[in-house]
Structure 1
């Protein structure tokens, strides 16, 4: 079956509306749970959870008791109690990752030097590949989309996959380039598959609202939704395999891959992709091993059963104002929990490796992204108690919350540790407290226990990294492609050192994010930078000056207490004081290139670039060249063929109550009505108004109805023109 190539075909297929009911977090009855087709569809082995979670609980109990013994030689003071509580909270959080990594280590070793198994079962389902975008580079996005479409065709996907760009872009120029790219990709694929495009007028509920809008209007046409991000890239055989696994298991509601980071150019991006490539498999495989049918969703590079998603995962709007109220930002964890609550399995496909994404290029970009994620995860404090969620789903949600709350807890632990050291150093002990006592109370620590506890803590903290390194070295091909044992070990040391220096900066940034959210500040929604991480030093000082000042204060306080305390906190102090140059150096493409040339932090994909990435890069120059010739708004309005092609890709207007006209629509309409020609009207419109005009058929037609250029006008008074203008405005508002 072939698809007719037509660059003026509609942006989207015919709508096939279906309901996506909002889920009630406070009420859920057992009768709402679907009955699985297979009896074992939702069965997860308890012994795996006993090993991982029971082991984590046992280690935590032993460590907390050890800390109590360290502090409690002469009885616990209030400060020591505070240190003990903070230690317990922070330590328990890292032990699950440690015990899970042990399980993941065994899983990875079993797969070492083995190829994953791919099915060749014929397709009898339809999958919509959703590519949400928000002011992203259209050339990169469509080059990647074309590469994936071509590989899926080779993998036998054919017309069983439709490719849907669902845009929330607000930039007028980028929006025009997106439409130009749609026409271009349709020509290049020569009708071999369907490529669709829709840009929303309003960015309601951000990405989750974007996907929901697609589901409600077109979702019932498809069996599965394969959700990507703008920087996602997946091999065709993995995408086909995901659809086949969903087809084979009718009880599977969601299948999540573990994306690998690639294409990092700056030092911080290369650090992340090295860590993800070397340590990530044991952590991800461990998580998949013990969560089993109660896996998680990370928002992209995953396939979802459309029926399950629409019936079970409609997100409610939380009561109150942002940051804790309003639309749920971190929607993915919640959607996975709701799917599992309704009787669908959620699994992590840790064996499918050809799933990729890119990472932020600088510390500042990491902080911008994490600020948004932090707000979304803290919102989950109002979701975690939802009725009848599976307890593993609650653990996923709690882990997301703790991933940011742990930073202020670590900061409080450092501060209370300083207070404790200050107490030991300067506060005169009361050897004989009030009341009868045969022996004095000595405010001492047990040094042997303290040293043993330190070793345990370091082992738990760095255990996943060491296990990841060992499993990575066991793979001959990976070892060779990454430069051999010596270079891998040097990269391991570099990653440990630089990450240790960056860690206190990120701790302070996360602490600041948590504080600002608690103070009621919303994160907004900014597009993410992908390539260049270089930021002027003046801006870096503005972002990091409190981190530097905090490092100086910490250094002075530590020095006053004792040189031992100063030495103990020196890694954190150095990272904080050097925050500005560290942020600059780690975000530099030039330094990143030198590190890459030296073979440091090298990953296998740099020696043997994935075929899907090579294909994307081969397509990219063509899109970059063609999109430089994108017509302007004036050009589109001035040429009938361009206007018709534009209107074909423009989303329809939704019904509105009479008299409910948005200010931006009214302003744009008045400016168009006030102009004497198309060129003048375009100069009247600012970027936001141009973006709205481009997405509103009535406004585009009104703009196109004007003369192309200024013409000689008869001397007519303003009073004579006014009735004509009023008539045009009334008609235009009716069409809106």
Structure 2
């Protein structure tokens, strides 16, 4: 990086941090003004503390989205403004090992994905520069036998595939990867890390290797992994919202993060020499959940790569990198809470020697992503505690005029900041003719956007509440065991949904009764929170119904570009939904008549 580049990224970071800190400071001042009008008490101090913890992640998301939109609206390729332009057309120099760790997965699904990737790689002129390794940690004897039958034998070809299974899965996924790296023969410059549900095109992998060949200081290059077409109602709506804002957020983040970007642990290319020399993680002192094995190893490895002097970049482009999203709400929560536990361990990493300040900021933000949920619940409970104490005569009623109006105005500002990025993402799709066509046209986009917006309004409060209770459990010493995921579409019986999410429904009812008894006028503002909580078990049940998924597929609601025009690799891996869908125009006819 030249001095000019360093000066440019410093200016960008200064501008971005000024916007974020200005937003945090302004909103915090308004909240302090609201609460301190008739003096601060302990409840006010608690509310201010919770509000301050909630602000950074939301302000960061808002400005990432705003910067991303600004870059997308400018002429030229937005990618060239945040990632060094690839100018060289030279042949590949470094050999790449493709590593897919698996743990008690469906071997048929794994084989389909790898067959599709192998065929795509073998279409490249330099296919022999790639080699694929399946790293199994499966312990179940029946599944192990099925794996061996399905994954050990592969026909010969330019891209060879090798299968290996550990008899003990010490240190989970990262232990599996490091055991493989310790025995890997010399000659490989790079490693492409995949998850068991990953799929990448040969062209996308080739582009990653060319970029790393061209920049000897690039240590990790992370792709945007988009959701594969799904017939699950939950997955379709969830990943539609992710997809509409993914590139926008990634562009905005890459603009100011530069060479200190995020690493998400899969669908990423890694330079092997510095990774092996500098990124092996220690075991944290103490017992789980905060001690022991570092569960969310990705961001920790990225911090160590930066400490070694190598860049970590995100390639904010949706091009040939895919993953599967959880098919049901319980499976999604299981994965999310695993990530939550791992991110909470980052508090022990913040003070590691030699980390850049940006790496420390990345680790802190990863923690705040989940801590804001606990702060949100604390803010909500404290807000309801005050009128209860006033009703019981234990606290004086506020006497400052205009306090309610200021509070409502602040509520609207925060909601604007939280919800506007969704509208920005949808608007950018509609404004770009290529993207609009790829997503099925204006009518399909508007209907899908409306459905996803309602879905997200139901999902966000229950997700935040579940994270908050989980974090409380972590501080009480309860650790979570990492287990395999169910990736196939399946039903969630209503009884199971109530066992998993009944406490959320109970919380919603409790909050409603409390507000109705102590402050009935607060119910309209509380409704977007308590209603999703009370409906949580029904959302888990309904969004997993096969009939709901089939209906959404038929109407193209939540359809992404790969559903309208599947790449060859997506078809070969078995994710083509075309045979179960109607053409986009026919599907929307009648449902959206009158929309331009």
Q: What TM-score do you get using the length of structure 2 for normalisation? A: 0.91
Closer/same/farther in 2, CA of residues 310 and 525 from structure 1, 3 Å limit: same
Residue 106 of structure 2 aligns with which residue?
A: 137
Deviation at 1:333, TM superposition (A): 0.5
Q: Is the 8 A contact 1:43 1:293 kept in 2?
A: no
Per the alignment, residue 253 of structure 2 pairs with 287
1:67 alignment partner in structure 2: 31
Instruction: Quickly say closer, same or farther: Cα 1:532–1:617, change in 2 above 3 A.
Output: closer
Q: Secondary structure at the match of 2:455?
A: helix
The equivalent residue for 1:92 is 56
| Residue of 131, 137, 142 corresponding to 1:168 | 137
In structure 2, list runs of 5 or more residues that go unmatched. Answer: 578-596
Quote the offset at 1:164 in angstroms.
0.6
Give 5+ residue unaligned stretches, structure 1: 1-35, 432-440, 621-736
Give the drift of 1:530: 0.8
Q: Take 2:443 and 2:40, find their aligned partners in 1: how far apart are those partners?
A: 48
Structure 2 equivalent of residue 557 of structure 1? 514
Q: 1:483 to 1:351 in 2, by over 3 A?
A: closer
Deviation per CA, 1:578-604: give whole Å up to 9, x if none. Answer: 221111011223212212212222222
Summarize the Cα distance change of 1:565–1:115 in structure 2 as closer, same or farther, 3 Å threshold: closer
Which residue, out of 29, 47, 53, partners 1:83? 47
Contact 2:53/2:368, CA 8 A, preserved across alignment: no
Q: 1:344 to 1:429 in 2, by over 3 A?
A: closer
Which digits, 9 at most, give the CA deviation of each residue in 1:591-621, with x for residues without a partner? 122122122222222111122201222999x
* Cα offset, 1:489, TM superposition: 2.1
Task: Determine if the alignment matches structure 1 residue 523 to structure 2 residue 480.
Answer: yes
CA contact (8 A) 2:343 2:367 kept: yes
| More divergent stretch after superposition (270-279 vs 304-313) | 270-279
Rg (Cα) greater in structure: 1
Name the CA distance, whole Å, in 1 between partners of 2:411 and 2:79.
40
| Distance in 2 between residues matched to 1:269 and 1:618, nearest whole Å | 13
1:341 shift after superposition = 0.6
* CA shift for structure 1 position 553: 0.9
Shift of 1:223: 0.4
Between the aligned partners of 1:296 and 1:516, the Cα distance in structure 2 is 27
| Distance of 1:384 and 1:352 partners within structure 2 | 32
CA distance in 2, matches of 1:587, 1:111: 42
**Alignment of 1:50 onto 2:14:** yes
CA distance in 2, matches of 1:224, 1:495: 38
Distance 2:56 2:274 in 1: 34
SS of 2:164's equivalent in the other structure is: strand
SS of residue paired to 1:72 = helix
1:688 alignment partner in structure 2: none
SS in 2 for 1:198: strand
CA contact (8 A) 1:52 1:290 kept: yes
Counterpart of 1:225 in 2: which secondary structure?
A: strand
User: Contact between 2:438 and 2:564, CA under 8 Å: does it hold in 1?
Assistant: yes
- Note if 1:262 corresponds to 2:228: yes
Q: How many residues align?
A: 572
Distance 1:516 1:109, change over 3 A: same
Preserved CA contact (<8 Å) 1:318 1:326: yes
Would the aligned equivalents of 2:338 and 2:480 in 1 still touch at CA under 8 Å? yes
CA contact (8 A) 1:219 1:306 kept: no
Matches of residues 423-442 of structure 1 in structure 2 within 5 Å? 423=389, 427=393, 442=399
2:309 equivalent to 1:333: no
Task: Say if 2:443 is the partner of 1:486.
Answer: yes
Shift of 1:343: 0.6
Residues 208 and 331, structure 1, Cα contact 8 Å, conserved in 2: yes
Q: How far apart in 2 are the matches of 1:264 and 1:561?
A: 45
Within a 5 Å distance, the mapping from 1:214-613 to structure 2 comes to 214-218=180-184, 220-351=186-317, 353-423=319-389, 427=393, 442-613=399-570
Q: What's the offset of the Cα at 1:532? A: 1.9
Shift of the 429–201 alpha-carbon distance from structure 1 to 2, 3 Å rule, reads closer
1:349 deviation in Å? Answer: 0.8
Aligned to 1:106: 70
Alignment partners' CA distance in 1, 2:187 and 2:3: 29
Paired with 1:122 and 1:63, the residues of 2 have a C-alpha distance of: 53
Given the two structures, how large is their TM-score scaled by the length of structure 1? 0.74
Q: Given the superposition, is the C-alpha separation of residues 455 and 341 from structure 1 closer, same or farther in structure 2, using an over 3 Å criterion?
A: same
SS at match of 2:184: helix
Q: Is the 8 A contact 1:94 1:461 kept in 2?
A: yes
- Which shifted more, 80-89 or 112-121? 112-121
Q: Give the whole-Å Cα distance in 2 for the aligned partners of 1:618 and 1:601.
A: 15
Q: Cα deviation per residue 1:157-215 (whole Å; 9 max; x = unaligned)?
A: 3110011111111122322232223344x22xx32222111111111111111111111
**Contact 1:238 1:355 (C-alpha < 8 Å) held by counterparts:** yes
Q: Give the stretch that moved more between structures: 83-92 or 295-304.
A: 83-92
Give the 3 Å change call, closer, same or farther, for CA 288–474 of structure 1 in structure 2.
same
SS at match of 2:191: strand
Partner Cα distance (1:457, 1:403) in 2: 16
Matched, 1:182 2:151: yes
Residue in 1 that maps onto 2:573:
616
Q: State the Cα RMSD in Å.
A: 2.4
Native 8 Å contact 2:152 2:163 kept in 1: no
